[in-house]
């Protein structure tokens, strides 16, 4: 599932294709994904010039010169296919621009969405309102984690996944960050010792920045034959590695289920449970 680094990579990958270009065509091959598309989506985007591509949490954002912002949610399986040879059945929305490029929003599982709002109202949109600070932004740091964790009996894993406390963190990068900070995912927030919390404040932006860098190099190295933006392989220490040796100590990586999602961790390196 695309997380913050994947969305960031997609938006950066779209910049050379889309930035400053006029949208000549926006073709909807179905009326909805997870939710109905806005009725006037094609009308409001066609003829508009793409002024800025950016991201908030796990949402890609495209600003146009008409004062609109397209909110792109990749969901579980969404990706952007740049200049595809053929338009397939999962290419639900196809954008063409004045430079002769084609971008298809492809989403096999259809958990993604496209929303269009006035840029001035973006912060109040239900998907965006109430989301916490960006982990790569200036507000993130030890102070924020202390406020989020103090007095809380919820597990560290759940607190980091709470989008109201920190934006954009998902299962993969929370598992990886807790590993590097040496915190057991089930540790109640208020029980995480300050030095570990300090480590966590440093590790979260580092893990995300590394993943974004890996995504950037995957764009440069393969420029994926079919031009697909959205996925890249990166080396995980614990995520998806149940039973494999911990990269730090050799102990088999363990898996527990928290809130119906798998948490991967090293029982030796990550302490403080309960």
Instruction: Check if 198 is active-site.
Output: no
The reply to whether 244 sits near Zn ion by the rule CB under 5 A is: no
Q: Residue 224 contacts by C-beta under 8 Å, 6 or more apart in sequence?
A: 218
The closest of 71, 66, 75, 67 to 47, measured between CA atoms, is 66
Measured at CB, which residue is nearest to Zn ion?
Answer: 246
Indicate which single residue of 249, 259, 262, 271 sits in contact with Zn ion (rule: CB under 5 A).
249
Residue from 103, 116, 199, 266 touching Zn ion (CB under 5 A): that is 266
Count of positions on this chain that bind Zn ion (CB under 5 A) = 7
- Selected from 180, 246, 263, 264, the binder of Zn ion by CB under 5 A is 246
Would you report the helix, strand and coil content of the chain in percent, each value rounded to 5?
30, 25, 45
- Residue 58 known to be catalytic: yes
Q: Does 49 bind Zn ion (CB under 5 A)?
A: no
3-class SS at 262? Answer: strand
| Shortest distance in whole angstroms from residue 145 CB to Zn ion | 22
Sign of torsion over alpha carbons 121, 122, 128, 131: negative
Rounded to a whole number of angstroms, the distance between the first and last alpha carbons of the chain is: 29
- Least Cβ distance, residue 249 to Zn ion (angstroms): 3
Contact between 257 and 185 (Cβ < 8 Å): no
Contact between 269 and Zn ion (CB under 5 A)?
yes
Member of 21, 119, 258, 268 binding Zn ion (CB under 5 A): 268
Given its phi and psi angles, is residue 64 left (phi above 0), alpha (psi -120 to 50 degrees) or beta? beta
Where does this chain touch Zn ion (CB under 5 A) — which range of 9-17, 105-113, 213-221, 242-250? 242-250
Closest CA to 10 of 263, 232, 237: 232
Does position 242 interact with Zn ion (CB under 5 A)? The reply is no
Does 267 help bind Zn ion (rule: CB under 5 A)?
A: no
Which window, 47-55, 169-177, 185-193, 260-268, contacts Zn ion (CB under 5 A)?
260-268
Contact 159, 165 (CB under 8 A): yes
Residues involved in catalysis = 2-3, 58, 261
Q: Which residues bind Zn ion (CB under 5 A)?
A: 246, 248-249, 251, 266, 268-269
């Amino acid at each position: 599932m695309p997380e913050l680094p994947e969305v960031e990579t997609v938006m950066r990958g779209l910049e050379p294709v889309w930035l400053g270009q006029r949208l000549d065509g926006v073709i909807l091959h179905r009326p909805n994904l997870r939710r109905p598309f806005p009725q006037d989506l094609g009308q409001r985007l066609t003829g508009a010039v793409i002024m800025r591509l950016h991201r908030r949490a796990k949402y890609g954002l495209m600003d146009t010169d008409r004062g609109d912002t397209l909110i792109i949610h990749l969901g579980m399986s969404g990706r952007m296919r740049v200049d595809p040879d053929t338009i397939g059945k999962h290419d639900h929305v196809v954008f063409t621009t004045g430079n002769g490029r084609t971008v298809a929003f492809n989403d096999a599982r259809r958990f993604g969405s496209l929303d269009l709002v006035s840029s001035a109202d973006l912060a109040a949109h239900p998907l965006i309102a109430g989301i916490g600070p960006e982990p790569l932004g200036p507000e993130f740091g030890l102070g924020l984690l202390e406020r989020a964790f103090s007095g809380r009996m919820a597990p560290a894993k759940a607190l980091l996944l709470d989008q109201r406390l920190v934006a954009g963190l998902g299962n993969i990068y929370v598992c990886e960050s807790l590993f590097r900070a040496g915190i057991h995912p089930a540790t109640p927030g208020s029980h995480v010792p300050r030095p570990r919390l300090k480590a966590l404040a440093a590790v979260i932006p580092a893990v995300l920045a590394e993943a974004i860098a890996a995504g950037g190099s995957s764009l440069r190295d393969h420029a994926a034959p079919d031009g697909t933006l959205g996925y890249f392989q990166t080396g995980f220490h614990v995520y998806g590695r149940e039973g494999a040796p911990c990269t730090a100590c050799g102990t088999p990586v363990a898996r527990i289920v928290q809130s119906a999602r798998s948490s991967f961790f090293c029982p030796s390196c990550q302490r403080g449970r309960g």
